[in-house]
Structure 1
Amino acid sequence: MKIEYSSIPDEIVHRTIQGECTKDDGIYLFNADPFELFALADSLRYESVGDDVTYIINRNINYTNQCMGTCGFCAFRNSNETGYMYTINEIVEKVKENTDLNLTEICIQGGLVPDISLDFCKEMIESIRSEVPDIHIHAFSPMEIYHISKINNISIKNTLKELKNSGLDSMPGTAAEILSDRVREKVCPDKLTTDEWVDVVKLAHGTGIPTTSTMMYGHLETIEERVDHILTIRDIQKETNGITEFVPLPFMLSNNPVGEQVKKEGRFGTTGIEDLKTHALARVLLHGYINNIQASWVKLGKKLAQIALYYGANDLGGTLIEENISKSAGASEGEYLSADEFKWLIKSAGKTPKQRDTLYKII
């Protein structure tokens, strides 16, 4: 593959094509002419996945907003008695009420409940599986797994095994924020550390549970830490090959303390150019390891997510149906995007829409 660029050094382009970009390469590319970075990312996107753009018909359920966590970026958490906690029956009914939409995935995440039991989580999965046997159950972040393990005094490995045996199919790779302990100490001091997050994800892959991967960027991290985060994801994938996608998530700064701190620094969230550069950089640094880069329509907005399809992204995520966490922090898009609108957005961008399942098998 021969790519000509006026200012990106040939050796960086070569390392990119070989999947060997270094941290210094990543920093250089982020600070280079953005349109040369965009062109490189688009070329790599086409080489990896062509002009197909995927989406999934799924439903999101946040089973509780009660949380003992102290994350400074969260506007969803409710630490007092006014918070809600769905019963197993309520969760199952939420799954069943949308079966007419031909859901292929149910995504389940919640807060850190002080007395959460592993049996409750297993019963949740088993009850959904019993009522809707063909649905893919995508549930429990690495932080939730870590928390459930500690509360129930069971090893993380055995927690994962029991959940898999109950019917857990895959896990969202959320709770990553920025995989830098310096940043985590500032934005989520009581959350699992970088090494602990990596350990949970690797154990999940070793148990036969694939995960996604995410990065929440645009708050208190440096560009160097952003690059380190993506390369950490690449290192995990090199070892386990258990990651299905990478999802850059711009920080939502409304209704949370970290957002107030960011605004005091004279910043008001990420810019569109920064969002596009971050998606492009993810494509470049993960080339050869993770083929699927998702542009989150909830975080970016539908129009910018559509534009990101020319800047390295090849997936627009899911229908969601009930999205609460981003909305609480100021995301302005709705809670639901229909399959018809996905197809319209993708076609009007000159791409080919393809419905997928959680593991990126085309339906």
Structure 2
Amino acid sequence: MIDNILKRAVAGERLTLEDGLALYESNEIEKIGHAANQVMQKLHPEPITTFVIGRNINYSNVCDTYCRFCAFYRPPGSKEGYVLPNETIFQKIQETVDVNGTEILMQGGTNPDLKLSYFTDLLREIKSRFPDITMHSLSTAEVAKMAEVSNVSVEEALRQLKEAGLDSLPGAGGEILDNRTRRKISRLKGTWEEWIDIQKKAHRTGLPGTATMVIGFGEEIEERVLSMIRIREAQDETNGFKAFIVWTFQPENTNMKAERNTPEEYLKTLAISRLMIDNIENFQSSWVTMGPEIGKLSLSYGANDFGSTMMEENVVSAAKCAYKVNTNRILELIREAGKIPAQRNTQYDILRVFEEGELAETDFVMQN
């Protein structure tokens, strides 16, 4: 039943909503994965799997969005709320640079006490100390909050952030790009239209980014496929998304109860995403939530990138689900998948291809 759909996708034909739904209805996961791998190989003919050495820095856990699925945030006024001192942030970046890291994913909550000037001052100070580090940081929700409390437009906030040193905008907050599920899991976070709109504004400001989708909230299959199509349509307009990542919701310690997604459901969604989203070149593996073995398997289901080493991670860890993998373990996993590992930067430029058996000169112990 799905052979014609897969044949058309591999030939470069754009799939429809109905095609995506038909693929989800099929149990032929390996066949879908094989087609996704063929599409990936057309874009990336060399047997290279990339990764970036980066660190997550959660500058604050104070948030007034109250997402039901988040175990990390603390409400304003909580005794457990924090804002990291700048010197602590600088120290964490220095530790990243010391192991040849190039990317900082700096994110927090929607903290109503932090105005735009807090972020622009911090970014300028970071860039003055670490001019070569890439600040792949913040989120659409954080940008919207700082614009709101500072009485400026989102466009102005993005312009000032870029001028101060922001390099690209991650896909955090994408979750599911359909308002039925968004209202259920995070009614204050904003509509899918707002997420797409801020992403497109960032791209037009000169801030590329990534697109993400989180599955396992109890969303309809149609909502997943619509999310893929909405990301694809935005990419048609701006060509600003450098990568796509699908994650699985981790329910532990959150205010939501949900069945964990199986590895098969994750791999199936990854493969269908690769077939549906035909205009984003790079797809990341989600080993942080799925584990290194499934991460390795994802490299034959449409993923060409192993994501970030993430030498520090706190948000997923708060839900008691974060696998810890350092640089040399990533090299090993990529080789076990029959691929050649290569370190990249945030823009997906290859910085270094590792020869057979070659290890990183410096490595780290993951922290959280």
Q: Is the 8 A contact 2:6 2:35 kept in 1?
A: no
Post-superposition offset of 1:12: 5.5
After superposition, residues 86-97 of structure 1 pair within 5 angstroms as 86-97=84-95
What fraction of aligned residue pairs are identical, expressed as a percent? 37
Give the partner amino acid of 1:38. G
SS in 2 for 1:98: helix
Q: Distance in 2 between matches of 1:171 and 1:19?
A: 29
Q: Distance in 2 between matches of 1:344 and 1:69?
A: 39
Q: Distance in 2 between matches of 1:90 and 1:340?
A: 26
Q: Is the 8 A contact 1:30 1:37 kept in 2?
A: no
Q: Which residue of 1 aligns with 2:41?
A: 46
Post-superposition offset of 1:188: 0.4
After superposition, residues 1-363 of structure 1 pair within 5 angstroms as 7-10=1-4, 13-15=7-9, 17-32=11-26, 33-50=28-45, 51-79=47-75, 80-258=78-256, 260=257, 262=258, 267=259, 269-287=260-278, 289-334=279-324, 337-363=325-351
Post-superposition offset of 1:242: 0.3
Q: Distance in 2 between matches of 1:319 and 1:128?
A: 21
Post-superposition offset of 1:295: 0.9
Q: Distance in 2 between matches of 1:248 and 1:46?
A: 19
Q: Return closer, same or farther for 1:231/1:89 CA change in 2, 3 Å cut-off.
A: same
Post-superposition offset of 1:15: 4.9
Q: Which residue of 2 aligns with 1:4?
A: none
Give the partner amino acid of 1:36. K
Q: Distance in 1 between matches of 2:44 and 2:207?
A: 24
Q: Return closer, same or farther for 1:97/1:354 CA change in 2, 3 Å cut-off.
A: closer
Unaligned runs of 5+ residues in structure 1 are 1-6
Q: Is the 8 A contact 2:68 2:185 kept in 1?
A: yes
Q: Distance in 2 between matches of 1:11 and 1:284?
A: 10
Please give the TM-score of this superposition, normalised by the length of structure 1: 0.93
Q: Distance in 2 between matches of 1:22 and 1:31?
A: 14
Q: Distance in 2 between matches of 1:102 and 1:15?
A: 38
Post-superposition offset of 1:19: 4.3
Give the partner amino acid of 1:308. S
Q: Distance in 2 between matches of 1:180 and 1:352?
A: 37
SS in 1 for 2:135: strand
Q: Distance in 2 between matches of 1:339 and 1:82?
A: 32
Spell out, residue by residue over 1:231-272, the C-alpha distance to the aligned partner (whole angstroms, 9 max, x if none).
Answer: 1110111110000000000010101122x2x2xxxx3x0001
Q: Distance in 2 between matches of 1:102 and 1:176?
A: 30
Q: How many residues align?
A: 347
Q: Distance in 1 between matches of 2:248 and 2:289?
A: 6
Q: State the superposition RMSD in angstroms.
A: 1.3
SS in 2 for 1:280: helix
